[in-house]
Amino acid sequence: MALKDNWIVKNLVWAAVVVVILIVAASISLRVITRHGKTVTVPDFTNLPVLQAEEVASRENVNVKVVDSVFVKRLPGGVIYRQSPKAGATVKKGRSIFLTINSVVPRKVVMPNLLGYSVSEARSQLQNRGLNLGQLNYVRDMATNTVLGQSVNGVEVNAGDLVVNGSAVDLKVAVSGEDNRTVVPKVIGMKYVGAVDALHERFLNVGKVRFDKDIRTYADSVNAVVYLQDAQGAVKALGTPIGLSLTLDKSKLPEE
- Domain end, chosen from 154, 175, 196, is at 175
Domain boundary, last residue among 119, 149, 175: 175
The answer to whether residue 207 sits within a structural domain is yes
Q: Is residue 162 part of a domain?
A: yes
Q: List, for residues 98-149, the tens digit of each pLDDT value.
A: 999 988 777 889 999 999 999 999 999 998 888 999 999 999 888 888 999 9
Q: Is 142 inside a domain boundary?
A: yes
Contact 243, 230 (CB under 8 A): yes
Q: For residue 57, give the nearest of 80, 36, 34 by alpha carbon.
A: 80
Rounded Cα distance between 170 and 165, Å, is 14
For residue 170, being part of any structural domain is answered with: yes
- In this model, does residue 238 exceed pLDDT 50? yes
**What's the mean pLDDT in 8-17?**
63
State residue 143's pLDDT score: 80
Pairing of strands 155-156, 235-237: unpaired
* Structural domains counted in the chain: 3
Task: Give all strands of the β-sheet with 205-211 in edge-to-edge order.
Answer: 205-211, 241-247, 225-229
The CATH number for 206's domain is 3.30.10.20
Please identify, among 69, 102, 135, the residue that sits at the C-terminal boundary of a domain: 102
142 φ/ψ angles, rounded to the nearest 5 degrees? -70, -30
Domain span at residue 134?
108-175
